[in-house]
Chain A
Amino acid sequence: CNTKKDIDITKLGVETDPPEMLYNQGLANIKAGNMTEAGKKFDAINQQQPFSEWARKALVMSTFVKYRTGRYDDAVQTGNTYLKQYPGSEDADYVQYLVGSSYAKQIVDVTQDQRAAQQTIEAMTKLVNTYPKSQYVSDAQEKIRFAKDQLAGKEMQVGRYYLERKDYLAAISRFRVVVEQYPTTNQIEEALARLVEAYYAMGIVPEAQTAAAVLGHNYPDSRWYKDSYQLLQKGGVEPSENSGSWISRAGKKLLLGT
């Protein structure tokens, strides 16, 4: 038999406190550092008067509390419900920032699944595009750069894995992704140097020269350029652009970055 008592229909009374009191109690709890209690207060407002102005404010605070207590997935969920209901409100940029930060907190090291980094980029880019004047834009861009470094690091990790096993064609496609999609990250120098190694190992010398020349052109004093230069020189080859004006075109693209 079903021992668990289901809803007792007659007892459904209205919550006792009015929304203002609940909201202030929530704020007080946050200041006192009692996050879980604060969370309960804000959730109660939502339960009692959904869609009211109090519910909107409470939703912002509930997202914040969930973020601070490390419940990132819940913070993202509450944040997204807020953004769906109040796209135009004045706190929307802050909530979008909370959502992006919740993803950023879940970024792990490059040997593992980088989905969190990808989600951070998407959430923060949405913030920068939809709320260009928001005060959080600069920090959002900082987090985008960090997340892109992560994704580039992952591509390099896999590229080096294939390069070590002499799977040159697999390695080349990975290093190309870094050159094409993440030219502004700190991985770009190594990506070019690895391309020199991979192409040279297969005997495709012109490509190796081109990659070395672009590396030298943009990062003349980089240690990676020194390695590539020595590698090519040992084989009696000079790192130089081999066909016409493409180097300036390619080089310019790199310097400006996307």
Chain B
Amino acid sequence: PGRIAAIEIQGNQRIEADTIRSYMLVQPGEPADADRLDRSLRALFATGLFRDVEIRPEGTRVIVRVVENPIVNRIGFEGNRRITSDTLRGEVQLRPRSVFTPAAAQADRQRILEIYARRGRFGASVEPKIIELDQNRVDVVFEITEGEVALVSRISFIGNENYSDSRLKEIIATREQAWYRLLSTSDTYDPDRLAFDRELLRRFYLRQGYADVEITGATAELAPDRSGFFLTYTISEGPRYRVGSIEFPSTIRGLDTTGLINEIPISVGDWYDGDAVERSDNLLTDLLASRGFPFVAVEPRVTRDRDARRVDLKFEINEGPRAYVERIEITGNTRTQDRVIRREFRLAEGDPLVAQQVRRSRDRIRSLGYFSDVQINTAPGSAPDRVILNTQVAERSTGEFTLGGGYSTDAGFLVDVGLRERNLLGTGIDSRANVTLAQRRSQVDISVTDPQFLDRNLAAGADVFLIQRNLTDTSGYREKRAGFALRMGYEINEHLRQSWSYSLVDRDIYDVAANVSRFIAEQEGRTLLSQVSTTITYDRRDSRIEPRSGYVVRLGGDLAGLGGDVSYVRGRADGQYYIPFERLLGDPEFVLVLAAGGGVLAPYGDSQTRIVDRFFLGGENLRGFALGGASPRDVSTNDSLGGEMLWTSSAEFRFPLPVPAELGFVGRAFVDAGGNWRLPSSVNVSGCPTTFPNCLRDDSTPRVGVGVGLSWRSPIGLINIDLAQAVVKQDYDQTQVFRIGFGTRF
């Protein structure tokens, strides 16, 4: 064929001829060979701009006839009440200025139906309406009839011999329709949640030892009156197994497997527990990694003996894939400096890739609190055994201006103003200033802390504070403390931390009431405390913010007397032990918290301990008693004197209330016990008024308070209400039944 003189475009209304020519693969002056023309035809179709295209050579000219697809001018929605037009517009593919094709309209109709199905409205119907405009433009309007929400009216189980229907209903996520569930969507019928329920049931049975469990069916039929759905789960439980033997066959040279048996939460004779096997797998991998075997693959093998109802566990330990971290890329940090994130990594470039270290690094970055989201995922490196860790963070504002109000039994009504920047200038330094004004306590403190001073394993900080407390009711005096503290802390290992602090505090006892106990009147005036203290913390809790398992133990020592006019040695200890009940009761909110603490204050040299340094028992550390209500006391003036010895303990069971979880109610039942005794020798009966010769009470017998409480994470803040009754007490103790505390931050 001859050369092309020109390319003529016909039938185009809106699209410029040059634009069409620019898509053609053949230009004037070139031979019009069929293959290139055909490819041009396909190219023009691929643009999606045209309903039809024809290309035919005519002599030396090439005629291109096109029929253009209309352009969408506007998208509209009619009849949508439950879902806003903007959300729908976000989901729909057709956009103003995009090309309209009937197929696209149908696809969007399907998308809208899916959105409604996900919200439980299976009866919805959608009709796309097309309005022709001039210049080959169209408007598209989707007419929607939403229909009713399908609720779950009844849930039943078949084949569950060992567990009752009500018990299993607690395990699955779907709930039966009930009046108090009008806020929550857990009672709407959602097919995806049906599958999720099957998994929850399976895991529950596996945890209880039914290794052969099968959820054979989960069906939903529409009720005859179409008002709701009947859900039926069919379960074949199979026998319940006990653990027979546990072995650790290993093919790795130099790996000693003897001690491993007591490192995992399963022992011979227990009921078999699927979850525990999985947990042990991770535990062993982590432990072996920390003992110098980074590349181990632990494969649990479960062999079942049906008639003996016995399960034999083999944790096969062999050489895992060797992979090394080539690079750690950190992206998304628009304010935080790179090193502030990089120093949280438990591994560096070039190190073996140990999944546990990656997980721990991600958790450490998350607990910084600077990011709304932290993701670490791996990408292949420059060699098969090298991997790039891509860390994606999303910054969030770490500056907080808090204006709070509230009331607490100890401090009365309070107003709290706080300014805090947790990530000052992206350097990771946490700085805050707080002013709290309350009826019986006002406090100003400014504190700055660098969690990793000079990137080293060294947290350093300083505080300046002024605290005024009005203790007239409990001990008949006001107290003012002003001073500063320098702090320093470091990690000894992943769970053990030690911190030191030096504080210089000027304390003033003033406004001593006229009829106050003589032992307090003597203490009026100012004293200077110069104290060095250290605390060792061993923290094995699963999370610091909302712990549900594990324990934490703190041991502290204070030495006062390097200068200043007070000299004593004080020992402190406290610990919390969190016992999860999720395995038994199915809901992670069930937690038993056992706590205990103690303190010893011993003066040295010739000085005596002063009231401002002594321990007080009652109020927060012994519910059922008023502040200092269970401490040694001058009964002639009914003033609490505090004691040099203190022990406290508490057992609190936390449980979810039968209300939708999103409302944030947690119930608590607790028993507190404690003791507080021993007054300095200078405080003795000789000081009692003549009218009341034997006025001192100093009794080390334990006091006990029992009660219930409610915590509500309400929209305006956390509210704590406690009702506690002092069951074991001395007649002179001050009790207090009702305690409330709520703080709002907005």
Measuring CB to CB, which residues of chain A are less than 8 angstroms from any residue of chain B? Answer: 1-2, 4, 6-7, 9, 12, 14, 46-47, 49-53, 56, 85-88, 108, 110-113, 115, 154, 157-158, 161-162, 164-165, 167, 169-170, 173-174
- Choice from B16, B78, B85, B342 contacting A158 with Cβ under 8 Å: B342
Output the nearest chain B residue to A155 by Cβ-Cβ distance.
B327
Q: In the complex, A53→B342 CA distance in Å?
A: 51
Taking a contact as CB atoms under 8 Å apart, the answer to whether A49 and B139 are in contact is: no
Known: A51-B14, A113-B330, A170-B348. 9 other contacts (CB 8 A): A53-B16, A87-B22, A108-B334, A110-B338, A112-B334, A113-B333, A113-B334, A164-B455, A170-B350
User: Which B residues touch A87, using CB under 8 A?
Assistant: 22
Taking a contact as CB atoms under 8 Å apart, the answer to whether A4 and B16 are in contact is: no
User: Which A residues touch B139, using CB under 8 A?
Assistant: 7, 9, 12
Q: Is B133 an interface residue (CB 8 A)?
A: yes
Q: Is B307 an interface residue (CB 8 A)?
A: no
User: Which B residues touch A170, using CB under 8 A?
Assistant: 348-351
Question: Interface digits, B164-191 against A, CB 8 Å rule (1 contact, 0 not)?
Answer: 0000000000000000000000000000
- Choice from B85, B349, B426 contacting A4 with Cβ under 8 Å: B85
Question: Interface digits, B138-160 against A, CB 8 Å rule (1 contact, 0 not)?
Answer: 01010000000000000000000
Taking a contact as CB atoms under 8 Å apart, the answer to whether B349 and A174 are in contact is: yes
- Choice from A4, A7, A157 contacting B141 with Cβ under 8 Å: A7
Taking a contact as CB atoms under 8 Å apart, the answer to whether B349 and A112 are in contact is: no
Q: In the complex, A88→B335 CA distance in Å?
A: 40
Taking a contact as CB atoms under 8 Å apart, the answer to whether A158 and B338 are in contact is: yes
Taking a contact as CB atoms under 8 Å apart, the answer to whether B327 and A6 are in contact is: no
Pick from B16, B331, B338 the residue with the most CB of A within 10 Å.
Answer: B338
Q: In the complex, A158→B49 CA distance in Å?
A: 49
> Which B69-83 residues sit within 8 Å CB-CB of chain A?
71, 73-78, 80-81
Output the nearest chain B residue to A173 by Cβ-Cβ distance.
B349
Taking a contact as CB atoms under 8 Å apart, the answer to whether B81 and A2 are in contact is: yes
Query: What are 14 A-B contacts defined by CB distance under 8 Å?
Result: A2-B85, A12-B73, A12-B131, A49-B14, A85-B19, A112-B335, A112-B337, A112-B338, A113-B332, A115-B331, A157-B338, A161-B342, A164-B455, A169-B350
Pick from A1, A7, A52, A110 the residue with the most CB of B within 10 Å.
Answer: A7
Q: In the complex, A165→B452 CA distance in Å?
A: 13
Taking a contact as CB atoms under 8 Å apart, the answer to whether B97 and A9 are in contact is: no
> Which B98-125 residues sit within 8 Å CB-CB of chain A?
none
Q: Is B56 an interface residue (CB 8 A)?
A: no
Output the nearest chain A residue to B427 by Cβ-Cβ distance.
A111
Taking a contact as CB atoms under 8 Å apart, the answer to whether A161 and B455 are in contact is: yes
Output the nearest chain A residue to B393 by Cβ-Cβ distance.
A113
- Choice from A46, A86, A111 contacting B338 with Cβ under 8 Å: A111
User: Which A residues touch B351, using CB under 8 A?
Assistant: 170
Shortest Cβ distance from residue A144 to the other chain B in the assembled complex, whole angstroms = 21
**A1 with B81: in contact, given A50-B71, A162-B349 (CB under 8 Å)?**
yes
Q: In the complex, A67→B338 CA distance in Å?
A: 28
Taking a contact as CB atoms under 8 Å apart, the answer to whether A111 and B426 are in contact is: yes
Q: Is B15 an interface residue (CB 8 A)?
A: yes
Shortest Cβ distance from residue A156 to the other chain B in the assembled complex, whole angstroms = 12
Output the nearest chain A residue to B82 by Cβ-Cβ distance.
A2
Q: In the complex, A89→B131 CA distance in Å?
A: 33
Taking a contact as CB atoms under 8 Å apart, the answer to whether A162 and B334 are in contact is: no
User: Which B residues touch A49, using CB under 8 A?
Assistant: 14, 135
Q: In the complex, A110→B331 CA distance in Å?
A: 12
- Nearest first, the 6 closest Cβ-Cβ pairs linking A and B are A7-B76, A170-B349, A169-B350, A111-B337, A170-B348, A167-B348
Shortest Cβ distance from residue A150 to the other chain B in the assembled complex, whole angstroms = 13
Output the nearest chain B residue to A160 by Cβ-Cβ distance.
B339
Q: In the complex, A184→B85 CA distance in Å?
A: 54
Q: In the complex, A85→B332 CA distance in Å?
A: 31
Output the nearest chain A residue to B16 by Cβ-Cβ distance.
A53
Q: In the complex, A113→B134 CA distance in Å?
A: 48
User: Which B residues touch A174, using CB under 8 A?
Assistant: 349
**A46 with B97: in contact, given A85-B19, A173-B327 (CB under 8 Å)?**
yes
Q: In the complex, A165→B457 CA distance in Å?
A: 11
User: Which B residues touch A7, using CB under 8 A?
Assistant: 74-76, 139, 141
Output the nearest chain B residue to A106 by Cβ-Cβ distance.
B334
